A and B are shown apart, each in its own frame.
Chain A
Amino acid sequence: MLSSFLFLAETTGDVADAGKAIALALGIGLGALGAGVGIGNIFGSMIQAVARQPELRGELQGIQWLGFALTEAVVFYGLIGGLLAYVLV
């Protein structure tokens, strides 16, 4: 199976491009995995906190979005790094 794919790539002469595409997708995918866990954690904790103390919702919301954005940004560092590597290498 794998050898047939390699053969295909070899015949068209795009082995390096294929490798770069796989690396980019894999890198962003793994980055998104970590951030997904983190964002889920933030919103999960927010639901728990509001369920326990509904009157704090307003105060917590600001912190929640701050944490969300800080966590989410991690994927994008991966994306930018991946795109840079894709373009430069």
Chain B
Amino acid sequence: MKLLIAVFGALYLAMPSFAAAAENGEEKFNPASEWTLHEWVPIHLGPIDLSINKAVAYLLLGAVVSCLIGILFMRVPRGRGPNRRQALGETIYEVAQVQVAEQGLPTKAIGRWFPYVATLMIFIWVVNMLGFIPLPLSDEKVEIAGLEVPTLALFAATSTLSVTLALALMTFVFTHVEGIRANGPVQYFKSWIPDVPKAMYPLIIPLEILGQFMRLISLSVRLYANMLAGHMLILTFLGLIFIIGNVVLAAIAVPAAAAFYLFEVLIVVSVQAYIFAALSAIYIGSAIEPEH
């Protein structure tokens, strides 16, 4: 208790001097400015903007790392005794097989759709994880030994809505394509309508169609908002030091930011990757084998 009083007392005493210093500073720190994407390599095809920016760079890096994980852990020379590398690869495979694919997909469709859901799981996990490793991929530059080097920054490609929406759109398209192919168009769209009296149809059918599009929104917004909120929390806690302009605040802000960082890295990153893949498997599975 005495310690607390001492800390807050010191905070209070230190506040005015630093606050005055902050007002003279050139610009105010704003955590949201991390999400403005500047064009690095402008590519414009008519009205379509395909420029390479921070998020695209992170996505490309994520794709390379996902491929490396696949090659390193899954392509193990046969004939030798199992080593740790192989054990790790088999653990990843087992999670994708037992927890994701078998949970949602019917047995006959696992062969076709297991690669898709397993790729989704690994790719989203890698991109999420890259977002919590400080990488020199940011718009601000710092001069080290005469060289302009980008500063280290935390940014996840999955904390931009376009990335998650594209991933969700893939699942959305695959769901309906597979549903139509497995059941035929008439049978498939009939399976959307639940067992209700015919008088309820005008009420139920629009709701069911809306529900299909709500899946798209919920799938993309869940991943996007999770990663956005995680990064925002960490940045805001660290940014408080600069916004209020008080170094003593670091005694509270840094441990709080570190706690949120650990929570995100240990739980949220993996759970979100798992959820996205598992829900994709469930949606595709329910389109192939409707309940009635």
Contact of B225 among A62, A65, A66, A80 (CB under 8 A): A80
Known: A62-B99, A62-B103, A62-B278. A69 touches B225 (CB 8 A): no
Known: A65-B274, A68-B271, A73-B218. A79 touches B225 (CB 8 A): yes
What's the nearest-Cβ distance from chain B to residue A28, in Å?
9
What's the nearest-Cβ distance from chain A to residue B19, in Å?
16
Known: A62-B278, A76-B229, A79-B229. A69 touches B103 (CB 8 A): no
Secondary structure class of chain B's binding surface, majority of residues: helix
For B226, the chain A residues whose CB sits under 8 A away are: 72-73, 76
For A7, the chain B residues whose CB sits under 8 A away are: none
Contact of B278 among A66, A73, A76, A80 (CB under 8 A): A66
Docked-complex contact B222 and A76, CB < 8 angstroms:
yes
What's the nearest-Cβ distance from chain B to residue A85, in Å?
15
Asked if A77 is an interface residue, CB under 8 A from chain B, the answer is yes
For A69, the chain B residues whose CB sits under 8 A away are: 222, 271-272, 275
Secondary structure class of chain A's binding surface, majority of residues: helix
Docked-complex contact B225 and A73, CB < 8 angstroms:
yes
Within 8 A of A (CB), among B273-292: 274-275, 278-279
What's the nearest-Cβ distance from chain B to residue A20, in Å?
14
Q: Mark A50-70, 1 if CB is under 8 A from B, else 0.
A: 000000000000100110111
For A72, the chain B residues whose CB sits under 8 A away are: 226
A77 to B223, CA, bound (A): 11
Known: A62-B103, A62-B278. A76 touches B271 (CB 8 A): no
Closest to A61 in B: B99
For B241, the chain A residues whose CB sits under 8 A away are: none
Contact of A66 among B224, B229, B275 (CB under 8 A): B275
Docked-complex contact A73 and B271, CB < 8 angstroms:
no
Within 8 A of B (CB), among A10-35: none
For A68, the chain B residues whose CB sits under 8 A away are: 271
For A65, the chain B residues whose CB sits under 8 A away are: 271, 274-275
For B274, the chain A residues whose CB sits under 8 A away are: 65
What's the nearest-Cβ distance from chain A to residue B42, in Å?
26
Asked if B163 is an interface residue, CB under 8 A from chain A, the answer is no
What's the nearest-Cβ distance from chain A to residue B274, in Å?
6
Contact of A73 among B99, B103, B221 (CB under 8 A): B221
A68 to B271, CA, bound (A): 9
A70 to B278, CA, bound (A): 12
A73 to B221, CA, bound (A): 8
What's the nearest-Cβ distance from chain B to residue A34, in Å?
16
What's the nearest-Cβ distance from chain B to residue A8, in Å?
17
For B271, the chain A residues whose CB sits under 8 A away are: 65, 68-69
What's the nearest-Cβ distance from chain A to residue B265, in Å?
16
Please report A residues at the B interface, Cβ cutoff 8 Å: 62, 65-66, 68-70, 72-73, 76-77, 79-80
11 contacts between A and B (CB under 8 A): A65-B274, A66-B278, A66-B279, A69-B271, A69-B275, A73-B218, A73-B221, A73-B226, A76-B221, A77-B221, A79-B229
List 5 extra interface pairs beyond A69-B271, A73-B222, A76-B222, CB under 8 A.
Answer: A65-B271, A65-B274, A73-B226, A76-B226, A80-B221
